[in-house]
Every structure is written in C-alpha cells, then in structure tokens.
Structure 1
Amino acid sequence: MAPATTSILTALSVCSQALAAAVEVSLAATTVSPVNSVANASYFVSEIQQLTDSVLRTLGSHQSLFNFGDANLSLPAVGTCKVYPGDAAWPSTSQWSVFNQALGGALIKTVPLAATCYPAWSEYYNQTACEEISDDWTVSYLHAADPASIMWPLFEGRSCLPTDIATSSNCTIGGYSSYAVNVSTVAQIQLAVNFARNQRLRLTVKNTGHDFNGKSTGAGALGIWTHNLKDIEVYDDYRLGDYRGPAVKLGAGVQAFEVYEKAHELGYTAVGGEGKTVGVAGGYVLGGGHSPMSSVYGLAADQVLALEVVLANGRFVTVTEQSNSDLFWALRGGGGGTYGIVTSLIARLHPKTPVTVSTFSFATSTNVTADTFWAGVDAYMKRFPANADAGTYAYFWIIKLGEESYEFLMNPYFAVNHTVAEFNALMAPWFAELDCLGIPYSPNTTYYDNFYEAWDAGFPLETVGSVTMMTGSRLIPRENFVNATLFHQTAAAFRSTVSAGYSLLAFNLKAELPAGYPASAANPAFRTTLMHAITSTSWYRNATNTEIKATMDTFTYDVLGEWRKTCPDSGAYMSEADIQEPDFQQAFYGDFYTRLYALKQRWDPAGLFYAPTAVGSEDWEVRSLDGLPDQNGRLCRV
C-alpha cells in the first residue's frame, strides 16, 4: 500500500539556520529526570522530553506561537468560530514551518487514504494502491495506522472514499484534520496544544479512530496522533495509595491485542476491549470501556491508578487519586477529548484467568415458529442476572431472515473462570427450556486456561468503514430483567425492533464498581446494567443527504425511542451510541454531568478540547456542509 501521508518538512519554507539551531537546543533542554515520584513509576522515554518555560525563551520572536496558557482564558464570544483554512488568521506557511521545525519534522499534511484513487491527487494517484486501499477499507488496522482516517467516515463527511463505494467523483480533505502531529514525545503534544490554542485552531486527538461517532476528526483541525506511543511496562509489585499488586503502564497508542499479548506473556490478565484494534489508553478508557472481564472486574476505567496528561494550558501533569482527585475522577469515564491528552496510564493487572468459550445458534424453521423462537430468546434474557452474576460475558446477535423468520447467533459466550462442566451447568436451565420448546442448537465449546487465547479465538476482527449505516445503543438495567412488567415491555421492544428489520447486537454483562476501587465518572447507568444493546439503520448508497437525515431521525426518535421508554432513567455507552442521542448529557453522563461540566470550565475554560457529545460540546456547533451530524464544517461558539 502506498503511503497515504507525507511530511510537510520539504513542502513548507525552511526556517533560518538560527531558528533551527535554537530548536535543536530547545529539544535537548526538554530532557528531564525519568523519576516520577507522584506516580511511583518512571516516565517513558517519550515523556522525559518536555516543553518548559526555559525552552520557550530560546525561541525568541517565535515564542508567542507556543506560550503556555494563562489563568485568564475563557470561552470565546458567541458566534466566534475556530480559525479555518482560507481565513485571514489561518497560520502562514512560515508559521507552519516554524511549528514543524519545533516538532522536529513530525508535522503531517493530511492526504486522505483514498486519494490514491483520484487523478486530481496526481502525486498520490496509483491504481494498484487504490485497489489495495479498497480491498482493506473495512479492516480496522488500515484506519488505525493513518494519522487522520477514522473507522466510520460517515461522520467525517464521506469526503474521499474508495471509488467502488463513493457517491462523488471528488476527493477532498473534508472533515479530516488539515494537519496532524505524529507524536513521539510529550513535548510535541505540548507544542501542538499551545500552537492550536494560541492560533485559535480547532484541535482533535486521534489514537485509533474507533469511536462510532468520529470524535477524533474535524474540518480544519490540527490533529494530535498518539497512535505510535506504544511503550508497555509491567510492574509485578506496584504501590500507589492503597493499591498493592501487579500493574501495567501503557502508552496512549497501545491497542488491545498488544497489551493482552504482553500480559499473557508475563502470566497476567489485563482489562481491555473485545475489539482487537481498540486503543486502550485513549477514548476507550476515558469513556468507561466495557470489557469481556467487566462482569468480574468492572470497567476499564475502574482499573486506572495513574495518568500522565497534557492539559489545555499545555502543562504536563501526573494525575492520581492522591495528587489531583477531581481530575482523576473525571478522566476515568468522563469522555475522551475533554480535559486533556493522556500520554500514558497505569492500570491494575489481574491473575491468569481461565475461560470457556462457546458459540451456537438457533433459528425459526418448519418446526420452530416465530413465537417459539422468541420464547427461546425470552428464556435466555431471563437468565441475564444469573449469568452476569456468575462473571460471564456474552456477545450475541438476533437478525431477521425474512417474514417471521429469525436467527439467534451466540458469537461468543465468554465464560470467565468457568470450566466446560461449569459452563454447561450455568447454561442448563436455558438449554432445558430450548429443549422443551423443540428448538435445536449445537454448542461448540472450548476451554482455555488463559484469557488471551480465549479472547483471540472468540472475538473476530471488527468490520469498519461503512458509510451507509449508523448505530445506536442503550444500557438496559437489571430491573428490566427481574421486574415482570418491565421484562415483558423490554422483550416486546426488542422483538418489535428486529421484526421491523433492525438487527440486534448485544452484550450480557454487568459493570459494577468493585469493592475498594475509587469512584469514577463512568456513566452511572453502567453500574446497574445487564445488557448493552445495539442496533443500526442503513440507506442506499445513492441516497441524498436529505434522505439520509430522515432515516437517521426515524432511527433516533422512533426505533431507539421505543428502547428508551423501557428504561427512561438509564443511558447509553457514549463510544458506541447514536450521535443524535436526545439529552446526551443525561444519557452518557447521568447525574455526573453538572460536576463534569464544572470541571470542564476549570481545566479547559476556553474550550480547546471539543468532540461531539463530549462534556461542554453544547457550547459549540459544527456548521456541517451537508446538513448531516458530521464534522465537515466550521466549529463555532453558540
């Protein structure tokens, strides 16, 4: 595959030799001691390169570009927009060049992945490369390894797609960031934060781009790409506050498969996502993070013991429960792209854990009517409390095959700390009901003596890249499965959804805060949930923007509206939710929102960090170019 990005070092005007020399001195002067007593763990090599006031003074007349923020910042006036390409205030070529020099050549000018398919991008046009991009478009590794691309390009604005799925003959940068910094040091993040704030630029942060709503993209933005912060350090006996035990320090770019491999190698189990390429220390943990281990150990956010963070004022700080309790609380579950940029975090590790994995299915047939099929599904959902309380995690689908024709797919059942015999005993009551109903099923069940091999075998690589669908979700609380009236209402809502042609993808889990763990800002709805339910809608490839928006609205207010009625006081998981979620403050943050918003004003008073549905995002609007809820347009204060 041909490179989709290029350094602008040679494309921009080169600064004077004097400036280059000054920057060389600056970079050398940023080296600090690796000892960090606040976190009781050494800084990574990437973290000992820091920006300081003394370094800024070496930049002479260019210092104002990179000064730290002061205490008098506030939100801009209503109607004020972030500086946009083409504006008079957009940084000059020489300023971008100065910035790139200060970064050590780490600035990347965005070239969309699919630019290889378009002759107008003559420098990159290559039919062979285009075919490779098209073939890999739905593979998450492709988008994670690019500084601007996201997993769901619908929310960038579909501005440059492979020609086999494109509805336009044009390829533009669209809602992707205009530039990105390929981060390898904390100093580079600090420089980028200060440059964006001082130049009034929109700022985005991308790790992998997994968020369902494209939070890591934005038209005209300067992007900070943390994907290559891949350091991992394991501590067998980590001590901080009241914690004593094994822990792992993760760079912001470490993905689930990487930390799982490392933990397995050393005889531990880490808590991370079920998706292989999810960036664990990025928006996943910051948004809460459900996991195949959640029914045993809680959310990923609950595991965090310390974080290294670049704040909106450009300062680099260590955040722990002891050193900064409010920010420690907010960062763990209060949303990504909100309070600061995490460069690394330290999280608990757990003992080697056995898992039994099982897959099976059942469907309507000549002998199994639709009513019988749904009776089998209801029998399963009634077991949600017992199954989650046993520490298990299940990932299943219910899909419509045709008129009154359905299929249930368990893919997989992930029985943590269960032998095959114990799994069979747990399933026995449900399987007995399926037998009584005359529903055939054939479990394929395997025992693994460790989490890593079970996870690797049980969860396939995620499929991404669609521009003809959107998803929405709901956290369904325990009460809905133990209260008979609520259960019937909930079961009827799911049957209605699937019968109308919307597939149901769901997880049976619990995510209670473990005893003795510090409280976090994770959505309170997680603490009572037994089901994370997801569905989606779609449209034809050639649908107009007006038709797409109408489909979205029907989905948001009618389809998902029926789900909300079953549990109006619950919420949804922000990273896998409907971007149009009504009252997102309550849905994604619950009763914590008032406190979180106050902390936003304290730590980011000028609103440097913006992401759709993030805390404080209601203070801004994206003036979308296509009328859809995407990031392809100016970001302006409301």
Structure 2
Amino acid sequence: MSPSFRALLLAVSFVPAAIAQVTVTNDPDLAVDAGTLETLDFSDAPAPLSLHRPGGIHYACKCLPGESCWPSAQKWNALNTTVNGRLRIHIPPGASCHNSFNGPFGTVNAYDPVKCAEATQNWSNEQWHVEQPGASLWTYFTNDTCRPTTDPNEPCTLGYYGVYVIMANKKQHVKAGIDFARRNNIRLIVRNTGHDFIGRSTGYGALIINMHAFQDITWMNSYTGPGFYHGGAVKIGAGVQANTILAQGHAKNPPRVVVTGECPTVGISGGFIQGGGHGPWTTLKGFSADNVLSFEAITASGQYVTANQYQNPDLFYALKGGGPASFAVILSTTMKTFTDLPSAGATLYINTTHTFDPNVIWNGTAIFHKWSNHFVDNGLYAYFEILPFTFRVRPWVAIGKTKAQLESILQPMLSELDAAGVPYDFESKAFPTFYDLYIDLFEPEAAGDSALTGGWMFNHHDVATNNDGIIEALKTAAAPRSDLFGIIIGHLFNPGYGAPHSNSATHPAWRNATDFVITVLPVPVGSSLAQKADLQNVLTNVMDEALRSASTSGCTYVNEADPYQPNWQSAFWGSEYPKLRALRFKWDPLGVFYAVSTPGTEKWEVIDYGTRLCRRL
C-alpha cells in the first residue's frame, strides 16, 4: 500500500479530534419550513472545472480524483466526522478474490480467501449485492473490472464505481453528502438497493450515498391528510424492499398490501417510484407513483422538505414518476394500502420438454399474446419470458378472483393452443391472499450478469391490429444477429384499468397499455470498447427498433429501457416532459443530481471513456 493511500485510509477510518467538522447549516433535525420554498440557495457551489476538447467543444465538468479541485484529505475527514464515521472508501465487492486492488489513490492488498468464497458463492444473489455498500446488481455499467475469480493475479480496479460511500442511517448524513457534493463539485450517486439495469447506481469519481439503512415502516389505519384520502396508508423508509413491506403487511389483521414491484429485492422509495413503479397490483391500482400520498425528501440545495398535494406540489408531482435521481433524495414515502384478497395464479410452459421446433414455440407465443388485451381487460397481470427454445408464463395473477374465474378467462387461449396442436404444461392454483401467491409463484431473480437492457410498450391498439407484427419484432429481438441472442421479459398490465386518470408524471400512454417488454442483450465480460459500441448499436437500432416499429404507443419505461434510444424524452414522458424539464431547472439548476436520460440532462455527457461527467457549454 502506498504511504499516501495508507494515510488517507487512516484519515477516513480514525478521525482525529483536532480536525474540524464540516458544519451543517440547518439545525440537527433539519427543521426547514415544510411549506413551499420561495428560493433555493445554491450560492455555496463552486464554479465547475472548465475543459476544452478537440473540435472547439467546451465543457463544465465535475472534479475527479487527482485533480487540483478534488477535495483534500482534511475535507473528506471532516465529512466523515459529520456523518458519524460512516464514510467509506469504496472497494468493489469482488476485490477480495484479487491479490491487489488498484484504486484511484494507490494499491491495496485485497485478497481474503474467506471473503472471496463468500463473494463467489453469492455473486448471483440479489440480496447479497443489495447489502454491499455500492454494488450494482447488473454489472455492465461498473465496467466489470473486478469480479470474483479463481486467479488472484487478475487485475482489479475501481471501474466505474464511485470512490467514497456514505453509509447513511440519518437524514443528517444524507444532507451532509448532498452539501459536500454541491460545495465541492463532485458527482453524486444516490443508491437505494442497486437494483438498476442502466447504470444509474454507479458513476466514476462519485460520492455515493447509500440509503439502504432507512428501514422505518409506520402503518396507519386511517390517513389524516392533507387531502381527501382517509383510507389505510403506510410510511416507508427509503431503504425498505418489496419483500419486507409485503411480509409486514401480510402479518396485519386484515392483511394489507401496497403496489410494489414484481421483484422482491426492489426498494419501493427512491428510483423505483421516481420512475413510476409497476408490479402485480398495477392493473388494479395503477403505478406505485399513482398511490403516493406524501414524500419526505432533501433537495439539491440541502433543504429538508415535505412534498404532497398541498406542500411543494410541483416537487410532489415530479417525484411521482418524473425520473430517478433527478429532483431530490427521498427519505420516506407515504402510500395508500389495500386489503389483501384471495387470489388465483397460473403458469404455462412451452419448451424442449414438448418440442425442439422453434416454429411451434413461436406459434404458442403468438397465440398467448393475441389474448393479452383480453387478460388485462379482465384485471389480470402476467409475467412471461422468451428464451432460446423456451416460452414461459410464470405467473398470471388474478387478484380477488377464484381459480375457476381465472381458468374461465384463460380458457379461450388454451383452446386455441389445443386447436393449433401446440403442446404445453399448464397449472392453476388458488391462494388465500395475493401474498401467498407471490411467495409461491414468483421466482428469485439473479444478479451479477453483464448485459444491456432495452424495451418498449405495446398498447391495446397494437395488440388488436398488429399482433403478427409484434411477434415478428419479438423474433428479431430474440435473434438480432446470427452470432447473438436476446432475452425478452414481458409484463402484461394496464394502469388505466384501475387508475384511468393519472395523478403522476408518468407517460400518458400508459393508461392504454397492454404489454411492457424488456429486451436483454448479454455482454461478454472483457469486451472491448468497440465490441460494446457494436452491441449497443444492436440493442438500439436492431432489437428495440423492431419493437418501436411494431407499435403505435411511442412509450417505454424509464427504469427498464435503453437510455440511449432516440427521442428518449418523448418515449419516457411524452407530453409531461416539458413541465418536468422546467421543474428540474427549478429544483436542481446546477445538476447536483445526475442520472442518464432524465429531465434536463440533454447537455450532460460522460466523456473520456465513461469517466468524466460534464455539461456541454
């Protein structure tokens, strides 16, 4: 270990009393007026680093380690004191399998056989990644430079991970991180669970605020306002995951639920709800964002605010689907709750146990998809996958319906499969509650893969008039080139069924949705920049272009789609975008927060081979 790096490690691990703390200007409880803010003060922010590039391009950039504008060890030490010693130098989770970690401040002896065995065993385990300080569950946007290995001599660098992590467990810690990033022109990453497909939980040279320790949950039998809603509600800390809130709700009498994501490890507050948030209850109750009653948050200027229908209503609107890491850091979310209901579920499989003929499998897929309007118009949700030689639906979800009612809805599709001679396995079940269905029929998802992600939404009109065209587009996405294969993950839901009038910032086209499809293109670890550029081109201009061409919706989902697609502003938000862009410049005019392809980021770029975050001037 180099002497300078050892000194820095000591500085952030053992804080001498003689070093002054960074002063938090608000009182210890951050008791800022929760009413509408008249002004947002950014006067303490320095001028950004100015850079010129060939071709006369002029940038204003965030500071990086090694530059004169990078904060001194004393400043980082003071930040550590302010956050009660919870600042960490970030070392990638796979570093323990490598002899050395070559970080931005020097080289560290990293090998630890016990921790390496743990990392290797858990690399595909989502919850293990969630519990790491700064890990991203899908690793492409980390640059895959430090994965578990059986060869400790393999190089290990920081890749595109952040440099420091605040393991925040108080709102004062969050404020301190925001203030430090703003005052020192440092890239800021807000990480909830790291359940992120498109790189918004990582960033080279960044300070990460880890929100996972915010686990408070407060259940309310009757919400007291403000507003006209007085039903059941729950206040959810920023770090609470779907499995936790659903389990707690199930223990209530009667059992309660909230609109969560399909995956149990997804955090509810934060990026999920800032993107809209869809899941098995969405057909019946709308997006998660449609069910929010209030937020507690900290703004880019470091002010603690409440945002609801009457207090900071423009921020309230923007946080409900207006884009992750864009307007403020959410500390807690208060949401409507609903009585859990008896439910029914079903599964369908067509794979190599039935046939090796891909035409038969695609014929079955087409018949299934032909009936997708029928499914959502009867209040169902469905999760399906298209893999090489495999089509599977696991599961259909029929909340508040009996097994017989679900079978009756599905019977026309099953009859058509039989008439076409498509072999399949089908099973349906009854459950006392949705939660029991959720535990039984939804499968754990894997982490640690390197892939690019895209996707598109098909509406009712698309399915009714162009189902054959949709299937041809799915075939293209599944086999975009002779040397490549894609994976397709589909979700049948319609927020407009149960919430026909949006009260969130989500794209208006969602109110006539039928099928949201995620496309996945695996990326080999160790791919060159040229190979990555080629695969990105395939995703954007072959796979997703086929989906866009087969659809009239003009819409996709901000949390699970290609951020580099053309016209992302319209695709993610439609007519809501101009308002969101204006609100971004009100609440965060300096770009303290940044996530790719979110409102107001048109001039922001990550240049210098994915390392330097800059705004083009």
Asked if 1:153 corresponds to 2:139, the answer is yes
What CA distance in whole angstroms lies between the structure 2 residues aligned with 1:10 and 1:337? 30
Residues 432-475 of structure 1: per-residue CA shift (max 9 Å, x gap):
111111223332222111121211111111112112x2221111
Asked if 1:423 corresponds to 2:406, the answer is yes
For 2:570, the equivalent position in structure 1 comes to 586
What CA distance in whole angstroms lies between the structure 2 residues aligned with 1:351 and 1:521? 26
- Contact residue 498 and residue 504 of structure 1 kept, 8 A: yes
Report the secondary structure of 1:618's partner residue. coil
Asked if 1:214 corresponds to 2:212, the answer is no
Residue 72 to residue 440, structure 1, CA distance change in 2 (3 Å): closer
- Structure 1 residue 366 displacement after superposition: 8.7
What CA distance in whole angstroms lies between the structure 2 residues aligned with 1:499 and 1:421? 38
- Structure 1 residue 10 displacement after superposition: 5.1
- Structure 1 residue 521 displacement after superposition: 0.6
Give 1:190's match in structure 2, choosing from 166, 172, 175.
175
Asked if 1:323 corresponds to 2:296, the answer is no
For 1:133, the equivalent position in structure 2 comes to 119
For 1:52, the equivalent position in structure 2 comes to none
- Structure 1 residue 571 displacement after superposition: 1.8
- Structure 1 residue 144 displacement after superposition: 0.9
Task: After TM superposition, list the pairs within 5 Å mapping 1:133-532 onto structure 2.
Answer: 133-163=119-149, 169-240=154-225, 241-266=227-252, 267-363=255-351, 370-401=358-389, 407-467=390-450, 469-483=451-465, 486-498=466-478, 500=480, 501-512=485-496, 514-515=498-499, 519-532=503-516
- Contact residue 15 and residue 98 of structure 1 kept, 8 A: no
- Percent identity for Structure 1 against Structure 2: 30
For 1:69, the equivalent position in structure 2 comes to 42
Residue 372 to residue 31, structure 1, CA distance change in 2 (3 Å): closer
Aligned length: 586
Residue 481 to residue 265, structure 1, CA distance change in 2 (3 Å): same
For 1:571, the equivalent position in structure 2 comes to 555
Bigger shift: 378-387 or 244-253? 378-387
What CA distance in whole angstroms lies between the structure 2 residues aligned with 1:216 and 1:540? 21
Residues 358-392 of structure 1: per-residue CA shift (max 9 Å, x gap):
22212478989655543332222221112102211
Bigger shift: 143-152 or 376-385? 376-385
- Contact residue 49 and residue 63 of structure 2 kept, 8 A: no
TM-score (norm 2): 0.89
What CA distance in whole angstroms lies between the structure 1 residues aligned with 2:322 and 2:419? 46
Residues 485-543 of structure 1: per-residue CA shift (max 9 Å, x gap):
x2332222223433554332211111127459762111233222100112222344454
What CA distance in whole angstroms lies between the structure 2 residues aligned with 1:633 and 1:298? 38
Bigger shift: 373-382 or 182-191? 373-382
For 1:57, the equivalent position in structure 2 comes to none
Bigger shift: 590-599 or 354-363? 354-363
- Contact residue 309 and residue 341 of structure 1 kept, 8 A: yes
Task: After TM superposition, list the pairs within 5 Å mapping 1:548-559 onto structure 2.
Answer: 548-559=532-543
- Structure 1 residue 357 displacement after superposition: 1.8
What CA distance in whole angstroms lies between the structure 2 residues aligned with 1:310 and 1:32? 9
Residue 366 to residue 259, structure 1, CA distance change in 2 (3 Å): closer
Residue 253 to residue 12, structure 1, CA distance change in 2 (3 Å): closer
TM-score (norm 1): 0.86
- Contact residue 298 and residue 511 of structure 1 kept, 8 A: yes
- Contact residue 219 and residue 633 of structure 1 kept, 8 A: yes
Look up the equivalent residue of 1:100 and give its one-letter code.
N
What CA distance in whole angstroms lies between the structure 1 residues aligned with 2:494 and 2:206? 38
Residues 166-218 of structure 1: per-residue CA shift (max 9 Å, x gap):
9x922122211111111111111111111110111111100011120120211
Give 1:112's match in structure 2, choosing from 92, 96, 106.
92
Report the secondary structure of 1:158's partner residue. coil
What CA distance in whole angstroms lies between the structure 2 residues aligned with 1:503 and 1:131? 30
- Structure 1 residue 615 displacement after superposition: 1.6
Give 1:30's match in structure 2, choosing from 28, 33, 52.
28
Bigger shift: 510-519 or 326-335? 510-519
The runs of 5 or more residues in structure 1 that have no matched partner are: 1-6, 40-66, 402-406, 626-631
RMSD: 2.8
- Structure 1 residue 309 displacement after superposition: 0.8
For 1:95, the equivalent position in structure 2 comes to 75
Report the secondary structure of 2:200's partner residue. coil
Residue 18 to residue 37, structure 1, CA distance change in 2 (3 Å): closer
- Contact residue 380 and residue 493 of structure 2 kept, 8 A: yes
- Contact residue 477 and residue 529 of structure 1 kept, 8 A: yes
Residues 128-187 of structure 1: per-residue CA shift (max 9 Å, x gap):
321220221111112211121111221122232112599x92212221111111111111
- Contact residue 364 and residue 370 of structure 1 kept, 8 A: no
- Contact residue 133 and residue 162 of structure 1 kept, 8 A: yes
- Structure 1 residue 619 displacement after superposition: 2.0
What CA distance in whole angstroms lies between the structure 2 residues aligned with 1:71 and 1:528? 46
Report the secondary structure of 1:443's partner residue. strand
- Structure 1 residue 118 displacement after superposition: 1.5
What CA distance in whole angstroms lies between the structure 2 residues aligned with 1:127 and 1:334? 44
Report the secondary structure of 1:196's partner residue. helix
- Contact residue 380 and residue 397 of structure 2 kept, 8 A: yes
Residue 197 to residue 540, structure 1, CA distance change in 2 (3 Å): closer
Look up the equivalent residue of 2:181 and give its one-letter code.
A
- Structure 1 residue 602 displacement after superposition: 0.5
For 2:615, the equivalent position in structure 1 comes to 637
Residues 230-278 of structure 1: per-residue CA shift (max 9 Å, x gap):
0000000113201110001000000000110111111111110111110
What CA distance in whole angstroms lies between the structure 1 residues aligned with 2:14 and 2:338? 52
Report the secondary structure of 2:233's partner residue. strand
Residue 202 to residue 369, structure 1, CA distance change in 2 (3 Å): closer
- Structure 1 residue 545 displacement after superposition: 2.5
- Contact residue 376 and residue 433 of structure 1 kept, 8 A: no
